[in-house]
Amino acid sequence: METMTIESLIEEIISNLDKYNLDDCLQDIGENILHYMNAERCLFFLLEPGNEDLSFAKAVGDEPAMADVVRIPMGSGIVGEVAEECSPIVIPDVKDPSCKKKFADFGKMTPEIDEKTKSVLALPLVVFGSLIGVLEIQNLPAEMCTRASIRKLLPLVNIAAVSIPRRATDDSFVKLAEIAVRFLEEKDEYTHGHSLRVMRYSMMLADKINLPIKEKNELRICSLLHDIGKVIIKDSILRKKGKLTESEFETIKMHCRIGANICSKISRPLARKILSHHERWDGKGYPEGLGENRIPLVSRIIAIADSFDAMTSARPYREKMQPHEALEELKRNAGTQFDPHLVEAFVVLYNEGLLDVVKV
Ligand SMILES: [Fe+2]
Ligand SMILES: [Fe+2]
C-alpha cells in the first residue's frame, strides 16, 4: 500500500472542508485514518448537544456488530472513559493477558467491541478545547499502538475534528489552519513560531499605518497562513541543510500557489493575498512578477514582516542577524524588494522599541 504522508492527509482534509455533509465528511476522515494507520475500521461517536451521552455516528471499514442506534453514557466503556478523561486509551492486543483486565473492565459496557476486535486505539475529538466526540480505531498494527505514534496522530485528529461539519464556522477554519501551521512548524526548530511572529509584526505595522479594520482582519488570517502551502512540500526539500538545486527552489516557490489554492476554498480575496506574499516592489518577485501597488497592500505588509522574522531567526546554513542588522537590510532593499513607505513605518516601530515585544 502506498504510504501517505501526514502532510498530504492534512491537505486533503483542508481541501475537503467545503463538504458540508456530516456522513461524507466522517467517511473521508475515516478512510484517511484507516489508510494512514493501516487499520481495519474506525468508529465515530459524537457528543449529543446539551447532554452527556455520546451517540454512534459512523463506522468506516469493517462494519462492527452493533445495534443501529448506540448511546454511550459519559464515563462508561472505552469510549465513555476517553470522553470523560479527554485522553487516549490504547489496547494493543485484546487477548494479551496484561491488557485483558483493562479490556474486561471496559469491555462489559462497550457495545462497539465484538469478536473481530483485536486492538483498540480511542482518541478524544477536541475542538476549541472542548470535546465533541470520540474516535475509535480498531485492528491496527502493533507498531501504531505506541505513544509516539499517538502523539503523531493527535494533530491530525484535531484537524479532522475541526472539519466535522456541524462544528464548522469561519472561525473554525482559522483555528484549523492555525493547528496545521503549528504542526508544520513544530517539526522544524528553525521555523518554530515563524507564522505567529509574522502575524504579530504584520499587525503592528498595520496599526502604525492605520490600516482599515476590514483589511486588518484579512491581514491577521493571511499573515498566519502565508506559508501554509509548505504543508505538502516534502521534508527532504523543505528542511534541506545544503544549497537547493534550481528545481528544488522552484518546488519551494510553489508554496504560494498551493497556499492560495487551499485558502481559495474559504475566500478568494484571502487567497489572492497569500499568493502574492513573495512579490517584490520592483516586479522581480514570484509567482506573477507584480510590482508596486499592483501587489495587494496586505501582501506587501506580510513580505516585510516575513523577511524581518526570517533574518532574525537562525537557519541551518547561517547564524541569525541582530534586529538592527535586519532593519538595515530592509532599508537597503526599500524601493527594490519592499514598499518604501512600509519600510519607513517599520523603522518607526523599531525605533519605538515595539518590535522587541514579539517573542514566541
Ligand atoms: Fe513564504
Ligand atoms: Fe514565511
- Grade residue 196 by pLDDT with cuts at 50, 70 and 90: confident
Q: Which range, 132-146, 225-239, 252-266, has the best average confidence (pLDDT)? A: 132-146
In the chain, the number of structural domains is 2
Which tens digit of pLDDT belongs to each residue from 49-66? 666 788 888 889 987 766
Residue 247 counted as domain residue: yes
Average the pLDDT over 7-20 and give the result. Answer: 56
Task: Give yes or no for residue 2 having a pLDDT over 50.
Answer: no
CA 308, CA 331: separation in Å to the nearest integer?
11
Average pLDDT over the chain, rounded to an integer: 81
Last residue of a domain, one of 146, 168, 190: 168
Last residue of a domain, one of 168, 191, 221: 168
Are 191 and 154 in the same domain? no
Q: How far is the CA of 252 from the centre of ligand 1 (A)?
A: 9
Q: How far is the CA of 227 from the centre of ligand 2 (A)?
A: 5
Task: Give yes or no for residue 15 having a pLDDT over 70.
Answer: no
Which range marks the domain in which residue 111 is found? 6-168
Q: Which one of the ligands is nearest to 255 CA?
A: 1
Q: How far is the CA of 219 from the centre of ligand 2 (A)?
A: 14
End-to-end CA distance of the chain: 40
Residue 88 counted as domain residue: yes
Q: Which residue has the higher pLDDT, 295 or 164?
A: 295
Torsion over CA: 186, 189, 193, 194 (sign): negative
Q: What is the pLDDT of residue 168?
A: 39
Q: Which range, 3-7, 198-202, 260-264, has the best average confidence (pLDDT)? A: 198-202
Residues 6+ apart with CB under 8 A from 59: 30, 41, 42, 43, 44
Q: What is the pLDDT of residue 6?
A: 54
Average the pLDDT over 338-358 and give the result. Answer: 88
Are 213 and 250 in the same domain? yes
Q: Which one of the ligands is nearest to 304 CA?
A: 2
Q: How far is the CA of 32 from the centre of ligand 2 (A)?
A: 29
Phi, psi for 223 (deg, rounded to 5):
-70, -40
Say how many C-beta atoms besides its own lie within 10 A of residue 2's C-beta: 4
Q: What is the pLDDT of residue 282?
A: 97
Task: Give yes or no for residue 214 having a pLDDT over 80.
Answer: yes
Are 196 and 264 in the same domain? yes
Q: What is the pLDDT of residue 7?
A: 56
Residue pair 279/295 in contact (Cβ under 8 Å)? The answer is yes
Are 328 and 288 in the same domain? yes
Are 106 and 139 in the same domain? yes
Q: How far is the CA of 82 from the centre of ligand 2 (A)?
A: 37
Residue pair 295/334 in contact (Cβ under 8 Å)? The answer is no
Q: What is the pLDDT of residue 338?
A: 98
CATH of the domain at 146: 3.30.450.40
Task: Give yes or no for residue 210 having a pLDDT over 90.
Answer: yes
Q: What is the pLDDT of residue 32?
A: 79
Residue 296 counted as domain residue: yes
Q: Which one of the ligands is nearest to 191 CA?
A: 2
Q: How far is the CA of 230 from the centre of ligand 1 (A)?
A: 8
Report the range of poorest mean pLDDT among 52-66, 81-95, 213-227, 317-331: 52-66
Are 151 and 211 in the same domain? no
Report the range of poorest mean pLDDT among 115-119, 122-126, 259-263: 259-263
Last residue of a domain, one of 143, 168, 193: 168
Residue 1 counted as domain residue: no
Task: Quickly tell me which residue has 505588509 as its cell.
Answer: 301
Ligand 1 ion: Cβ-proximal residues, 5 Å cutoff: 227
CA angle in degrees (0–180, nearest 5) for 180-155-51: 110
Which tens digit of pLDDT belongs to each residue from 329-344? 999 999 999 999 999 9
Q: What is the pLDDT of residue 3?
A: 45
DSSP of 130-185: EEEEEEEEES--GGGSSHHHHHHHHHHHHHHHHHSGGG--HHHHHHHHHHHHHHHH
Q: What is the pLDDT of residue 1?
A: 34
Q: Which one of the ligands is nearest to 201 CA?
A: 2
